Amino acid sequence: MAISHGSLPFKEQIDYFKGKTNLPSRAWTDLYAAEHDWAFVVAGTTKRDLLADMRGAVEKAIATGRTLEQFRTDFDKIVGQHGWEYNGGRAWRSRTIFETNLRQSYNAGRETQMADPELRKARPYGLYRHGDSANPRPQHLAWNGTVLPLDDAWWSTHSPQNGWGCKCKKFMVSARDVERMGLKVGPAPVVEYETRIIGVNSPNGPRSVRVPLGIDPGFEHAPGQSRLSSAVPAPRAYDPIPAPGARTSAVPSAGLPNRRPPGALPAPRPAAPSRLMPEGLDDEEYVGRFLKEFGATETSPVVFRDKVGDGIVIGRGLFADAKSGAVKIGERGNARELLLLADALKEPDEVWVRLEWQSEQNKAVVRRRYISRFEIEGEAVPALAVFEVGADGWDGVTTVAPAGTNADYLEQLRIGVRLYRRSDTE
């Protein structure tokens, strides 16, 4: 098999494509930009059976690394079976369906990989490389060799693919890579915008859009980024973790038994006084410092893998108000102690999982709870940090008050099935 860009499939690429929903459409403008992260469309395909068959052919091509000619065999069969009368010639139409889905799923999968915080530590920069298009766009050629931090806002609109048939690529590179290739970091190219008219032949009529110069309408977004941002757990609006000093009776889990904690928690670990942030910072500053612990920023979430290998998407949405979108720490623990909450996620003393019945939604929810204690110089009692996350959002508790050291209260937190325990020697 001839090897080309995207012809060797990988899990993140396949998962991205499988996560789409088939959506009939009359024109390519029916869905725009990041909406394609969620839907599979073929312009002019309004019959669901036809769309399902076309989606199956594309998914097979992505998952098995099929060539364009192999895809065209399936394309011809589907067209003949459904009697589809499409616009454009066979060669152009089949290539557009094949290459656009292949490249964008590839790019979205790579963006998911690039969100890994450990990879970002080793390779914190993105490198723009021009592809081998037969008729290169001048702006894409000008961007060749651009190196910027992966969280630079420029990537939110200029991450490839940047137009129909665009073959440009984005690579992760280290500082040593940049030096070895004789490149330099930044500054970001100046972004100029232009107004374009789209949908001239659409049943819905034409409309104008503003896009960066050099980027085709509909491509001015980082593939898959909207999926990653939407996967950030929101603050849980109900059923909070019991606060220190409060007594609650544990609700039996459905399917995961509430086991008696085997032994005591590991001894509290020493933590630097700087893990308690200064008072008086605004919420954005507190949240920014929390995100930085994971390599995330306000605009770039990351996928964090915990001690048992489960993934949590860390981003601004952890602290965003559901209605206004503004950062609001509220009652999610003391803002000064947010770094301890980050430590509980990264280096927990214990990780517990339980299946909790959620009466408000009339369903069971699996939740993971991360517990850590810290000896902080100058503090009379150990600090406690608890982070809990599930499909219904997250909640957290942090305290340096004596109530947080109460043995009965700590035992209330240790319910479900324990997945991980830190060694006492660590």
Span 186-201, mean pLDDT?
Answer: 93
Supply the pLDDT for residue 4: 43
Asked whether the predicted pLDDT for residue 263 surpasses 70, the reply is yes
Question: Which sign does the torsion angle of CA 387, 273, 346, 286 carry?
Answer: positive
Evaluate whether 55 touches 39 at the Cβ level (below 8 Å).
no
Asked whether the predicted pLDDT for residue 324 surpasses 60, the reply is yes
Omega before 244 cis (within 30°)? no
- Percent of the chain exceeding pLDDT 70 equals 92
Higher pLDDT, 215 or 309: 215
Lookup: tokens for 333 = 């623990």
Q: pLDDT confidence of 329, banded at 50, 70, 90?
A: confident
Span 362-385, mean pLDDT?
Answer: 91
Q: pLDDT confidence of 238, banded at 50, 70, 90?
A: confident
What is the enclosing helix (H) or strand (E) of 393? strand 393-399
CB atoms within 10 A of CB 272: 10
Evaluate whether 314 touches 307 at the Cβ level (below 8 Å).
no
Supply the pLDDT for residue 404: 77
Phi, then psi, of 225 in degrees rounded to 5: -65, -35
Choice among 13-27, 96-110, 190-204, 353-367 with the minimum mean pLDDT: 353-367
Evaluate whether 138 touches 214 at the Cβ level (below 8 Å).
yes
Supply the pLDDT for residue 401: 85
The partner residues of 314 in beta bridges, in order of sequence, read 302
Supply the pLDDT for residue 258: 54
Q: Cα 262 vs. chain centroid, distance in angstroms? A: 35
Q: How high is the mean pLDDT of the chain?
A: 89
Supply the pLDDT for residue 143: 97
Supply the pLDDT for residue 361: 65
| pLDDT per residue as tens digits for the range 101-160 | 999 999 999 999 999 988 999 999 999 999 877 789 999 999 999 999 998 999 999 999
Supply the pLDDT for residue 260: 55
